[in-house]
Chain A
Amino acid sequence: MKKGLAKVYALSLTVIVVVAVAAAAYFILSSSSTTVQQQTTTQQIHLVDIVGRNVTIPRGVDRIVAIGPGMLRLVCYLNATDLLVGVEDSERSWGSAGRDYAMAYGESFKALPAIGPGGPGKPPAPELILAAKPELIIMSRTYCDFYDPDRLEKETNTTVIVMDYGPAGNLDVEGLTNALRVLGEALGRKERADSLISYIRSVVEDLDKRTRDLDVRPKVYVGAVSYKGPQPFTTTQTPFPPLSLLNTPSIADRYASKPGVFFWSFEAILSEQPEIVFIDENNLATVKQDFDKDPGKYMHLNAFKEGRVYGILPYNYYHTNVAVALADAYYIGKILYPERFSDVNPSEKADEIFRVFVGKALYQQYAEAYGGFRCLAEMFKPSG
């Protein structure tokens, strides 16, 4: 009966193989369905925010709020205003003049509920945020100095991501780029972030190219820069960001021990004798008042005597208005190096920049509010 046994063996072997193959097939197929399950749960984004917190955000959030200096601006720059479910009260009570994003989107803010007081140094209001039911809170790093973001997360039961784009008043291109990229990913605006970043890079490149290899740079001073209240002519910033983009120093650079806002004396300015003076139009009234009281000392400045005094738009209002800072740089470049900027019309270029950043041409509004890019020689003529 050996042949009969062989058939049995063959049959059993076949059965075993078939069963084994089937089992294997089964196992293989089932694990790939768990893989499918894993893919659906990784519809989440893992990011590290600016203070090093690991933040997990679901893909496709459509309810966000932004609190603190500059955060709403980032949202606007990323064309993500449709995701907002509330704004800070300050956005409505301050009036829009002076904040680039507010001038473009201010109307739409009015319809949104208030989610906190807003303003530098004012702590957030968790109850109000809760009422708006956001999925994500974008919080300014400056708020972390007096309010723990993790605490806010617990209180509002919402994910908090802390952002910033450089020190206030500065134009930190790297910081800005980084912030746009991270936030772009968080809000599903990656493409927009990329295109904005490349535009910013191109502008910086352009300014640098135009001013890189100059032998002669005029002596420049920027007075009355905005900083915590009306500042006199003797307050300046060193180095001055738009000037830095133009590879040009300010006369104050040598004297300050550290970068930032610098207060010095009129005598020192006199001894330096800048050839060209720019005044931050936010504080123009203060300077004019001082000039009216005391014209003598101003008229000993060559820049004033020759009427080479110009106004620039203020860019430090609830954190740096990046668009305005860049627009200022073009205007300053045109004044300082007219040959290198002969093809540039500052107000048109400003509008171009505004359109890219916030989708609206804002130069006219700025000019109405502050005066715009202009020569101030007439204003600073001694009367009688």
Chain B
Amino acid sequence: MVIEVRIRDVKVYYRSIKALDGVSLTVKRGEVLSVVGPNGAGKSTLLKVVNGVLKPKMGSVYLDQRAVWEIKSRDLAKICGAVPQRVQVGGMLTVYDFVMTGRRPYIGFAPSKLDEAKVYDALETVGAIDLVGRGLEELSGGELQRVLIARALAAEPEVLLLDEPTSNLDLKYQVEVLRLVRSLRSRGLIIIMAIHDLTYAYRVSDKILMLNSGKVYAAGKPEEVLTAKNISEVYGVEPLIFDEYRLIVPLLRV
């Protein structure tokens, strides 16, 4: 039962580029943390550090008292579920098989009845049970996104990492995904989400981490971080912020 994800002073270098330069954050159970920032700010990199896919050059990542790199990768996969931004769709896999791969940390030789049940559960949770027999290549963007989330959920994680879950989706599906995120939050998951859309970040998150060029520009409650000043500094665009609706739009001077 993970209570807290703690990241301290993490530095990640890609060759000579500092992808993350001393980033720290804390997220607790039942919290949604959105990581915002322009492209290349290090959002995806941060997510990969949390579930151990990337090892930071310096710094620490803790799940409660345990450092992430001390946990065996199999056990780590049971705790952290990752929903990548895109996935290589090929090889004629069915949705069922694909979601089953999310159960990998639990499966020894062959999937059991329990694994089957979890797959169906996950698909039901994301509302994609009707896709179960389809091939991955046949799915639309929104369908694939939900299946990706189902795959991550099949592992029964306590920490969910989502990388740009709403990009490339129709409005309807964007809303559905965000609703899903909220419901998962009420189940007690720790959710860390990299997201482009500032309105969504505003509406859905409990905490925001604003990154700029690998450094933390601002961190805290959404209203504290998503200020006009911060946004214009980091994004180079003046925003219009409607607090009652929690709506942020860029000011278009055409």
- Contact between A and B in the complex (any CB pair below 8 Å): no
